[in-house]
């Protein structure tokens, strides 16, 4: 057996290199006093550089490192979503307690590490890079969840995420082993060829592999019934990290989800398509029902994320260009909607004594209209009301589903959306409408596990540019792409064409 030295296109992996170098520099900056305060700036710069390097490759798909990675428009699109989210996360982290407790340099280096994993994951076309990237993504997040050192909830969240995440990874790895055992290849295309060559159509080996890989991935994107960790971890983690996890992790995991299933397992469509459709439906119902009555906004966003993952899984179920495009569109819209909401949650968490409880936003429309409008737009968009990107996203998804003969899943999305109104509008009502019956007098604040240090950290947080700015920006993007969706549709359809073009 000859060993062929792989030809490495350094320009192609430049974004990854940039992130790695940035990561090291940020980590080192913590050691040298003059640079102590520069971690956020350095992180942002790194993110922008790698985003630029990625955009430069737009429209020129290329296979890197002998088929281990593939830098195509799908990978770039999802990476950009992850990087954008990370930039927002850096802004949200300014003056965040967790950043100070864990050390700014370490915190930001971990964040960059996770982004590195994500960018790699979106490009992964090989089981090995797939798994390695997933771990690079996850391990920093386990730590980041627990960075709020003095809060029990944060530590609990980190530990819980570590355990559940490891189980997910292990399951996935086990599934991969089966697939490799059956097909003798770790490459996605190699697996597809192997299934055909070895006559493994519907073979138990492949079935077990698919099932376990599905479960492992479902853990990562929080699809029900593998979602139980989501509300707890979301609530316990520092809010900027919650925002990052909610959007970026989901985006990156969906990228590999769709690539893995469509490229490697495309021939086994009949087996996994109904199963994924069922998972999507379960997720829609469980997520939406679970979110009803949640008083913690972060938990609410967690449950809503479960439901939204169910919607997006629809884009994976119909193996088509339209499906993948709609998935990318929805992920982009989802990023804007969620980031707007989290910006407001972060601001109110620091400003009021209520933490992330829904009481923190009561009367917000009168008190802080500049925060109330973004959160309102975000909630309406998540509920899929028109003139927001959320509506177009649902339209796109349902159109793809109906075209792919999954009309019933489209109806499920509509039903799920109806249920979701009950909790999204409750948030809106809290901001705009008179409180119902007022707060029970004398009752000790029962903020189900929310931040126990219930003193306002920064009573002016609702006016800080780094919170109000992102909130308005994300909300404006949500409305803009709801009214003029064409640019984002084109962006998404380029990405979708990468797998099928």
Partner 1 sequence: MSSALLWAPLAFGLLGLFLPRRAAGPWAVLGTLATLGIAIAVVAGFDSGNSGLQHVVDEPWISGLGVDYSLGVDGLNLFLLLLTAVLWVGGVAFAALREQERPKTFYFLMLVAETATLGAFLAQDLLLFVLFFDLMLVPFYFLFGAWGYDRSGEGGLTASRATMKMIIYTLIGSLLMLVAAITTAIIAADGGEITFSIAELAQQGIGESSQRWIFWFFAAAFLVKMPAFLLHGWLPDAYRAAPLPVLLVFSGVLAKVGAYGFLRVVLPVFPDATVEFQEVVLLIALASILYGSVMAFTQTNVRLIAGYSSVAQLGFITAGIFALRADGADGAILQMVNHGLVVAPIFIIVALLLERTGSEDIREMGGLALRAPVLAAMFLIVALATLALPGSANFIGEFYILNGLFQEKIVFAFVAITGVAMSAYYALRLYQQTMHNRQPSERDQGLLSREISLRDGLVLAPLVLCILALALYPQLILERTAPTVEQTVAKVKRGDAPDAQLAER
Nearer Cβ to partner 1, position 25 or 428? 428
Among 85, 169, 239, 493, binds partner 1 (CB under 8 A): 493
Residue span 196-235 as binding mask against partner 1, x where in contact by CB under 8 A, dash where not: ----------------------------------------
Among 136, 246, 309, 380, binds partner 1 (CB under 8 A): 380
Scored b (16 or more CB within 10 A) or e, 47-62 reads: bebbbebbeebbeebe
State which of positions 103-132 bind partner 1 (CB under 8 A). none
First to last CA, the chain: 35
Nearer Cβ to partner 1, position 154 or 493? 493
Q: For the chain, how many helices (H) and strands (E)?
A: 21, 2
Task: Tell me which DSSP letter residue 62 carries.
Answer: E
Look up residue 240 and give its two tokens: 């900027």
Among 21, 422, 454, 476, binds partner 1 (CB under 8 A): 422
State which of positions 303-362 bind partner 1 (CB under 8 A). 325
Q: Is 63 helix (H, G, I), strand (E, B) or coil?
A: strand
The yes or no reply on residue 387 touching partner 1 (CB under 8 A) is yes
Among 17, 177, 429, 473, binds partner 1 (CB under 8 A): 429
Among 244, 260, 303, 396, binds partner 1 (CB under 8 A): 396
The yes or no reply on residue 407 touching partner 1 (CB under 8 A) is yes
Minimum distance between the CB of residue 155 and partner 1, rounded to whole angstroms? Answer: 37
Q: What is the DSSP string of 69-98?
A: EEE-HHHHHHHHHHHHHHHHHHHHHTT-HH
Minimum distance between the CB of residue 417 and partner 1, rounded to whole angstroms? Answer: 5
Look up residue 86 and give its two tokens: 């990370």
Spatial distance between the Cα atoms of 154 and 156, rounded to a whole number of angstroms: 5
Scored b (16 or more CB within 10 A) or e, 376-405 reads: bbbbbbbbbbeebbbbbbbebbbebbbebe
Minimum distance between the CB of residue 396 and partner 1, rounded to whole angstroms? Answer: 6
Spatial distance between the Cα atoms of 157 and 56, rounded to a whole number of angstroms: 38
Among 370, 402, 454, 473, binds partner 1 (CB under 8 A): 402
The yes or no reply on residue 444 touching partner 1 (CB under 8 A) is no
Nearer Cβ to partner 1, position 206 or 365? 365
Look up residue 231 and give its two tokens: 């509300």
Can you list the pairs that 269-276 forms with residues at least 24 positions away whose Cβ atoms lie under 8 Å? 269/319, 271/202, 271/207, 271/210, 272/210, 272/214, 273/317, 273/319, 275/211, 275/214, 276/214, 276/313, 276/316, 276/317
Among 269, 414, 439, 448, binds partner 1 (CB under 8 A): 414
Minimum distance between the CB of residue 413 and partner 1, rounded to whole angstroms? Answer: 8
The yes or no reply on residue 399 touching partner 1 (CB under 8 A) is yes
Minimum distance between the CB of residue 337 and partner 1, rounded to whole angstroms? Answer: 15
Nearer Cβ to partner 1, position 21 or 497? 497
Spatial distance between the Cα atoms of 157 and 6, rounded to a whole number of angstroms: 41
Nearest 5°: phi and psi at 245?
-65, -45
The yes or no reply on residue 439 touching partner 1 (CB under 8 A) is no
Minimum distance between the CB of residue 306 and partner 1, rounded to whole angstroms? Answer: 19
Q: Of 26-34, 153-161, 239-247, 389-397, which segment contacts partner 1 by CB under 8 A?
A: 389-397
Say which residues have a Cβ less than 8 Å from residue 87's Cβ, sequence separation at least 6. Answer: 44, 47, 48
CA 146 to the chain's CA centroid:
18
Positions in the binding site for partner 1 (CB under 8 A): 325, 365-366, 369, 380, 384-387, 391-392, 394-396, 398-399, 402-403, 407, 410-411, 413-415, 417-418, 421-422, 425-426, 428-429, 432-434, 436-437, 485-486, 489-490, 493
């Amino acid at each position: 057996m000859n060993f062929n030295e792989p030809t490495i296109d350094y320009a192609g992996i430049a974004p990854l290199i940039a992130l790695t170098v940035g990561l090291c520099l940020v980590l080192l900056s913590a050691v040298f006093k003059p640079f102590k305060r520069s971690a956020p700036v350095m992180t942002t710069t790194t993110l922008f550089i790698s985003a630029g390097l990625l955009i430069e490759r737009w429209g020129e798909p290329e296979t890197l490192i002998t088929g281990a990675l593939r830098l195509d428009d799908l990978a770039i699109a999802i990476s950009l979503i992850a990087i954008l989210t990370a930039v927002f996360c850096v802004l949200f982290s300014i003056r965040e307690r967790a950043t100070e407790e864990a050390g700014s340099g370490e915190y930001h280096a971990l964040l960059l590490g996770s982004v590195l994993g994500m960018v790699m994951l979106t490009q992964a076309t090989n089981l090995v890079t797939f798994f390695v990237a997933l771990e690079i993504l996850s391990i920093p997040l386990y730590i980041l969840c627990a960075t709020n050192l003095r809060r029990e909830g944060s530590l609990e969240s980190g530990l819980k995420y570590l355990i559940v995440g490891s189980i997910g990874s292990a399951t996935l790895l086990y599934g991969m082993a089966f697939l490799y055992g059956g097909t003798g290849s770790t490459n996605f295309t190699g697996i597809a060829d192997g299934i055909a060559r070895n006559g493994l159509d519907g073979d138990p080996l492949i079935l077990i592999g698919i099932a376990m890989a599905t479960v492992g991935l479902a853990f990562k994107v929080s699809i029900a019934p593998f979602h139980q960790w989501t509300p707890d971890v979301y609530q316990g983690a520092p809010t900027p990290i919650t925002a990052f996890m909610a959007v970026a992790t989901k985006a990156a995991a969906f990228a590999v989800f769709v690539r893995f299933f469509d490229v490697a397992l495309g021939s086994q469509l009949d087996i996994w398509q109904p199963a994924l459709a069922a998972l999507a439906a379960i997720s829609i119902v469980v997520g939406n029902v679970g979110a009803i009555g949640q008083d913690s906004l972060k938990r609410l966003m967690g449950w809503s994320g479960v439901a939204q993952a169910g919607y997006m899984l629809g884009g994976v179920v119909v193996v088509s260009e339209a499906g993948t495009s709609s998935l990318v569109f929805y992920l982009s819209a989802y990023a804007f909607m969620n980031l707007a909401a989290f910006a407001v949650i972060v601001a109110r968490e620091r400003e009021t004594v209520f933490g992330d409880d829904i009481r923190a936003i009561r009367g917000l429309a009168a008190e802080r209209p500049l925060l109330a409008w973004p959160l309102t737009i975000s909630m309406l968009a998540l509920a899929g009301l028109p003139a927001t990107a959320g509506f177009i996203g649902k339209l796109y998804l349902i159109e793809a589903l109906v075209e792919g003969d999954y009309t019933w899943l489209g109806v499920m999305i509509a039903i799920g959306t109806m249920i979701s109104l009950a909790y999204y509008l409750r948030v809106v009502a809290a901001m705009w409408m008179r409180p119902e019956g007022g707060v029970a007098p004398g009752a000790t604040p029962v903020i189900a596990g929310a931040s126990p240090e219930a003193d306002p950290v920064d009573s002016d947080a609702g006016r800080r540019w780094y919170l109000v700015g992102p909130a308005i920006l994300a909300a404006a993007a949500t409305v803009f792409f709801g009214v003029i969706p064409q640019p984002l549709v084109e962006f998404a359809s380029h990405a979708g064409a990468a797998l099928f073009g």
